Amino acid sequence: MSRTDDFEQGLGNRRAVLGDAWVERSLSRATTFTAEYQNLITRYAWNDIWSRPGLERKTRRMMVLSVTLALARWEEFELHARAGLLAQDDSRITPDELKEVLLQNAIYAGVPAANTAFNLAQNILREVADEIGYRLESASPADADPLR
C-alpha cells in the first residue's frame, strides 16, 4: 500500500469516527506549517491504528475517552465523546456506556478529572439529547445506588 493509499484509508476512518464536518474543518485549517502533521496523523493514527483488527471501533472509542480524561486533554475528550454519541454505526456509544467509562476512570484516573469529564459530558448530552433520543432528568444521588 502506498502512502497515498494509507492517507485515503486513514481519512475514511477519521471521517467515520469523527464525522465529515469535523474532518473538513480540521483539513481546511491546514497550513504549510501543519499540513505534514495532518498527513502524518491521518496515515498513522487513523490508518495504522484505527484500521487494526484487534479491537472493535467502539472499544477504541472508549479507550480514547479514558486516555483523554486521564491526561486532561479536554478538547479531544469532548470531540470523541460527541462523535461517539452521534455515531451512526455499531461504534456508537450510549449515554450509559459513556457514564460507565467515566465512573471507571473516576477510580483509576482520579475524581478531579472525572468531575471535569462528567461536567463536559453532561453539557454534550444536553446539546445532542434530541438527536440521540435521550432525556436528562434531575435525580437524587442518594437514590442512585445501582447495587440496591
**Same domain flag for 24 and 4:** yes
Neighbouring CB atoms inside 10 A of 47's CB total 23
What is the average pLDDT score of the chain? 94
Q: Which domain holds residue 130?
A: 56-135
What are the residues whose beta carbons fall under 8 Å from the beta carbon of 64, sequence distance 6 or more? 76, 80
CATH code where residue 98 lies:
1.20.1290
What does the pLDDT look like over 94-143, one tens digit per residue?
A: 999 999 999 999 999 999 999 999 999 999 999 999 999 999 999 888 88
Same structural domain, 92 and 42 = no
Please determine, for residue 4, whether its predicted confidence score (pLDDT) is greater than 80. Answer: yes
Average of per-residue pLDDT across 26-34: 94
- Assigned domain for 141 exists: no
102 part of a folded domain: yes
Last residue of a domain, one of 10, 27, 52: 52
Q: What is the pLDDT of residues 38-56, one digit of tens each?
A: 999 999 999 999 999 999 9
Structural domain count, the chain: 2
**CA of 78: how far to CAs of 68, 85, 123, 128, 138, in Å?**
9, 11, 10, 12, 22
Closest to 90 (Cα-Cα) out of 124, 60, 130, 46:
60
Residue 11 forms part of a structural domain: yes
Same domain? For 70 and 111 the reply is: yes
